[in-house]
Structures are given as C-alpha cells and as structure tokens.
Amino acid sequence: MKKYYLVPVDNRKSFYGKAYVIVSNDGTETLYSYNTEICKRSIDGAITRIWPGWSATTGRHIKAFCGMNKKEFCKLPVTFRPEHHAAAYEGTLFF
C-alpha cells in the first residue's frame, strides 16, 4: 500500500495535507478528504462514489483526483453506510 498527497489543479499552492490518496496493492486508488473516504478509482479508471455529500473544499479535492465537477460527481450512485446516516442526522453531511 502507498500514500500520496494531492496537488491542486487550480491556483492554490497546496491542500496542506487535507487530501491524500491511498493506493492499494491491486492498484485501486482511494481519495481521502479530511480523513473521509470520498471515492475510488479502479485500475480500469472507473470511479466509485463512497461519500454521499458535497462541499466546496472536497469538490476541489475531487477535481484534482479525477477531474469531476459537482454535477458529474453527484450523478454517480452511492450506497449509504450507517455513518452517513449519523452525519446527516448531526448536520455534518452536506449535499
């Protein structure tokens, strides 16, 4: 397993360690934003959405990782996990 930090694709200098990617032994890359799993990219390039929310900052991380904007990312199917329901209830899950 390997880890690398994302570099912004806009005029920002850095994400200051808030966005990183874990590469598994099979080559699958998983984007983490603020230590939350956001999405995965398989070896064939297919993107799987994990996090059901959206925020402007995480959107910049997604753009740097796979080039998707909000409309494209939000169209991807997502399966809710128990922790997503808890975040929605607490008001910390943003759509």
CA distance 2 to 89: 34
CA angle (75 as vertex; 16, 8 as ends), nearest 5: 20
* Percentage above 70 pLDDT, the chain: 82
Model confidence at 65, pLDDT cuts 50, 70, 90, reads: very high
What residue ranges do the domains of the chain occupy? 2-90
Structure tokens at 58: 């995480």
* pLDDT tens-digit readout, 67-89: 999 999 999 998 666 665 555 55
